[in-house]
């Protein structure tokens, strides 16, 4: 089984599909979104998805006329554990990273504010809003994956109307946070599907990550009043997630439990909206 799964993953584009679903875990993605994100032909994507499903590396579920796909975490763990145990005899010194480090308590960090980065494509609205909401309790940052962007005036107006200080807000590129002198992040959240689907370099320090996808208010149409309403709705959705996150008992959670809470917050608040 291990060699069969490794053979499936040895194909670069099948691996790309698997990595995309791993990045979006625990989300289920429709085939069309996978095809678009990886710029594949629909027929080609179907072949890759079928192979990964047959190997048990991903799961599929029908939702009406759509097929939804998600990574099979149990299978992913079996692959990694198989390599670790079979090839290295469980010796962490031979086969890093040391697995024990992945689930250590983060209580040692509770004497300082956590660094949190919100990532979106443009860093003009959603990630900026999230950074502003969280700033009081954490050291919050935001960035975009696009090369250039500007703050959306409706976002700035809405934040000002709610009493937030917007004087320090600016649009930033994600590369600003990937240099040697950049602050080390404890948490990284993507707030748009497009940014979540993009493949970014590995972050140092193994930060806890989550995907809290929010519809883009910048795409709202209609009158200015209708556009402003979209931004207020975005603020409310992000506020619900961030308040739930900030109320977690960080000193009592190991990294595995904390990751589960982060995923649950994204899933549960999305159902309520």
- Segment 170-192 shows an average pLDDT of 90
Looking at the annotation, which residues are catalytic? 120, 192, 200
| CB burial string 101-134: b at 16+ within 10 A, e below | eeeeebeeeeeeebbbbbbbbbbbbbbbbbbbbb
**Same-fold call for 2-73 versus 107-272:** no
Q: Does the pLDDT at position 100 exceed 50? A: no
8-state DSSP, 146? S
Question: Which range has the worst mean pLDDT, 25-34, 35-44, 206-215?
Answer: 206-215
Q: Which residue has the higher pLDDT, 197 or 123?
A: 123
| Alpha-carbon gap, residue 59 to 72, rounded angstroms | 6
Q: What is the pLDDT of residues 187-245, one digit of tens each?
A: 999 998 887 887 766 677 778 888 899 999 999 999 999 999 999 999 999 999 999 99
Scanning the structure block, which residue is given the tokens 């996978």? 34
- Say if residue 104's pLDDT is above 50: no
Mean model confidence pLDDT for the chain: 85
Are 236 and 229 spatial neighbours (Cβ–Cβ below 8 Å)? no
Which residue has better confidence, 60 or 267? 60
Residue 83's CB: how many other CB atoms inside 10 A?
A: 13
pLDDT digits (tens, 9 = 90+) for 47-71: 999 999 999 999 999 999 999 999 9
pLDDT at position 233: 95
Q: What is the band of 99 on the pLDDT scale with cuts at 50, 70, 90?
A: very low
Mean predicted confidence (pLDDT) in 21-42:
92
Which CATH number does 2-73 carry?
Answer: 1.10.10.10
Q: Please give the CATH number for the structural domain made up of 107-272.
A: 3.40.50.2300
Domain ranges of the chain: 2-73, 107-272
């Amino acid at each position: 089984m291990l060699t069969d799964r490794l053979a499936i993953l040895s194909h670069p584009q099948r691996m790309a599909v698997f990595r995309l679903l791993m990045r979006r875990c625990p989300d289920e993605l429709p085939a069309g979104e996978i095809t678009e994100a990886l710029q594949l032909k629909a027929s080609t994507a179907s072949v890759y998805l079928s192979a990964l499903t047959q190997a048990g590396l991903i799961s599929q579920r029908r939702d009406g006329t759509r097929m939804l796909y998600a990574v099979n975490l149990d299978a992913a763990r079996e692959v990694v554990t198989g390599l670790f145990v079979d090839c290295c005899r469980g010796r962490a010194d031979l086969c890093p990273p040391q697995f024990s480090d992945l689930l250590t308590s983060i209580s040692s960090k509770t004497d300082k504010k956590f660094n949190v980065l919100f990532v979106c494509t443009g860093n003009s609205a959603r990630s900026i809003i999230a950074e502003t909401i969280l700033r009081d309790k954490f050291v919050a940052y935001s960035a975009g994956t696009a090369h250039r962007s500007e703050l959306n005036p409706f976002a700035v107006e809405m934040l000002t109307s709610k009493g937030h200080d917007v004087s320090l807000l600016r649009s930033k590129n994600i590369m600003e946070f990937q240099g040697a002198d950049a602050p080390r992040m404890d948490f990284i959240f993507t707030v748009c599907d497009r940014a979540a689907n993009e493949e970014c370099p590995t972050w140092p320090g193994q930060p806890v990550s989550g995907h809290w996808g929010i519809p883009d208010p910048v795409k709202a149409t209609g009158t200015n009043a209708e556009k402003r309403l979209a931004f207020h709705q975005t603020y409310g959705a992000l506020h619900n997630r961030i308040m739930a996150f900030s109320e977690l008992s960080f000193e009592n959670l190991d990294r595995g439990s904390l990751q589960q809470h982060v995923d649950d917050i994204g899933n549960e608040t999305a159902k309520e909206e």
